[in-house]
Amino acid sequence: MTIALEPLLATARTWLAQDPDPATRDELEAAIDAAADGSGPEAQELAARFSGRLAFGTAGLRAELGYGPLRMNRVVVTQAAAGLARFLIDTGRQRSVVIGYDGRVKSDVFARDSAEVMRGLGLDVTLLPSALPTPVLAFAVRHLGVGAGVMVTASHNPPRDNGYKVYLGGEDDGSQIVPPVDGSIADSIDAVAAGSITQLVRATDYTVASSSLVDAYVSATAATVPAPALAPEAQPKVVYTAMHGVGWETARAVFEAAGFAVPTTVPEQIEPDGAFPTVSFPNPEEPGAMDLSIARGVAVGADLVIANDPDADRLALAIPSTSDTGEPTFRRLSGNEVGWLLGWRAAARAAAAGVTGTLAASIVSSPALARVAARHGLEYRDTLTGFKWVSRVPGLLFGYEEALGYLVDPQVVRDKDGISAALSLLDLATELAASGSSIAGQLDAFAAEFGAFASGQVATRVDDLSRIGEIMAALRATPPSSLGGVDVLATTDYLDGVEGFPPSDILRYDLTGDARVIVRPSGTEPKVKVYIDTVAASSAEAQSLVDALAAAVRPLVS
């Protein structure tokens, strides 16, 4: 790559002049000095860092920490905060915002920068009192009746990442942003970025919320379940991990308020720690991420192991099992399995109460929930991936996506909530225990009632983002006629437009025997993801078909 060195260095120095963070200033100064002769890899790296801007989209912002417009840093966050504030002002929305943050590196700094800049632009600003779960922020948007909410978090991303998630109040009712609003906010951010953040007025007279706001979330969430069917000492024994995140204190308060026993914790992972020292990737879905919690579950003879991701908007569940060598261990349930169970619970309770409404799941989640809805006389809706879509379904009773996200009470939070979902699972497990059953037994009952469903995934991580487009283009140019010896009955390209969906980069293959394969680029990571769903007479048969389809599709996305 040929580099126009002087313009590059001028751009980098302009950025440096407005950067208030000593750490990224030092990093950028060293990069400028090293790149000054233009002959080494340092110049290439500097050019790459200033080759564009971090795009603001429906997931807000999310990237690795570092200097420059393509990383998360105080300049980028300040520009985003000012742009969001101007969007609220220019569109006549409520000039008020609540800001939350998790325990990641720089989250508190980014939150305070946002509060100062937005207050300086005249907004009424409330900052949450400490590092708290994302669901508390989502709750606060509606509870306080503000125009917008900001959560500084990268959720389950790698340790060096951080992010900026935006919710809207008013007619959006506390849901995350969707198009075309994201584009309008991005335009406002770009307008701010055309100048220097040193010209922005800052103010520190914003409001810091009291603990009563957290108490309100705790009370509202605890009220989503009835009184436990068993006394605390007779309830299933539970191990809980926060995965170095911010979930524990709030989750414990919710469990206690609802009348459930306090779980045994994983001490190495219970306190917030942005370095995530015991996991390479703080996502309960990743191999090895739950090893410590499972070991703890075995050691104490637990009935359940539950894990929140670092900002506690996701939930993973594991139940007792036996290893190939006959040793006790735990099996982590898939997001679909948890979704089936919680959706069935929600549908049965709605039917018992004579309540009508809709169950919903993202398009890449299992089709099992549609059968549950039909059996209970409820509506069902598929949505695009992401809770920004699930939460907006009219008449929603319950929604989920296979990536460990569950919305169990839309009246409390209009987003996935790993704490309320954990509470619902504790309620279900206790109810089952009182009747002599268990979560494993309920999975068997589900298969007997609705069919034996199975699901799986194939994911290809890329270093060059252009490879994602190449993979999707190749599949469109030469669509498969069969996969794993199973005929493809229909191919649906969501780029062509499908009723109820905006044009989207999704390919769906419907196969003989109600099997289904969906391919799409990830919305948050440099990956192509494949989602496989089957249903058969037995769980073993359904899983065997998943394995065969995974083997067939893997070469197509490599």
Question: Tens digit of pLDDT for each residue in 111-153?
Answer: 999 999 999 999 999 999 999 999 999 999 999 999 999 999 9
CB atoms within 10 A of CB 375: 14
Check whether 374 has a pLDDT greater than 90: yes
Residue 58 pLDDT level (bands cut at 50, 70, 90): confident
Sequence-distant (≥ 6) Cβ neighbours of residue 389 within 8 angstroms: 178, 362, 383
Given this model, what pLDDT does residue 39 score? 65
331-344 average pLDDT score: 97
Instruction: Give me the architecture of the 452-557 domain, per CATH.
Output: 2-Layer Sandwich (3.30)
Superfamily (CATH) of domain 229-450: Alpha-D-Glucose-1,6-Bisphosphate, subunit A, domain 3 (3.40.120.10)
Question: Tens digit of pLDDT for each residue in 476-496?
Answer: 999 999 999 999 999 999 998
Residue 184 pLDDT level (bands cut at 50, 70, 90): very high
Residues with a known catalytic role: 155
Check whether 524 has a pLDDT greater than 90: no
Residue 230 pLDDT level (bands cut at 50, 70, 90): very high
Check whether 525 has a pLDDT greater than 90: no
Given this model, what pLDDT does residue 506 score? 94
Residue 522 pLDDT level (bands cut at 50, 70, 90): confident
248-266 average pLDDT score: 98
Question: Tens digit of pLDDT for each residue in 187-199?
Answer: 999 999 999 999 9
Sequence-distant (≥ 6) Cβ neighbours of residue 86 within 8 angstroms: 121, 188, 191, 192
Residue 4 pLDDT level (bands cut at 50, 70, 90): confident
328 membership: H or E segment, kind and range: strand 328-332
205-226 average pLDDT score: 98
φ, ψ dihedrals at 329, nearest 5°? -150, -165
Residue 348 pLDDT level (bands cut at 50, 70, 90): very high
322-350 average pLDDT score: 96
Given this model, what pLDDT does residue 2 score? 61
Q: Rounded mean pLDDT of the chain?
A: 95
Query: What is the C-alpha separation between 193 and 52, in angstroms, rounded?
Result: 12
Query: What is the C-alpha separation between 254 and 418, in angstroms, rounded?
Result: 12
φ, ψ dihedrals at 280, nearest 5°? -80, -25
Residue count (the chain): 558
SS3 at position 213: helix
- The domain ranges of the chain are 1-51, 57-209, 229-450, 452-557
Listed ranges 7-11, 29-33, 417-421; the one with the highest mean pLDDT? 417-421
Given this model, what pLDDT does residue 343 score? 98
Question: Tens digit of pLDDT for each residue in 388-412?
Answer: 999 999 999 999 999 999 999 999 9
Check whether 1 has a pLDDT greater than 90: no
Check whether 500 has a pLDDT greater than 90: no
Minimal CA–CA distance to 410: which of 351, 345, 358, 337? 358
Query: What is the C-alpha separation between 375 and 382, in angstroms, rounded?
Result: 17
Question: Tens digit of pLDDT for each residue in 544-556?
Answer: 999 999 999 999 9
CATH tag for 57-209 (out of 3.40.50.300, 3.40.120.10, 3.40.50.1360, 3.40.228.10):
3.40.120.10
Asked whether this chain's domains 57-209 and 229-450 adopt the same fold, the reply is yes
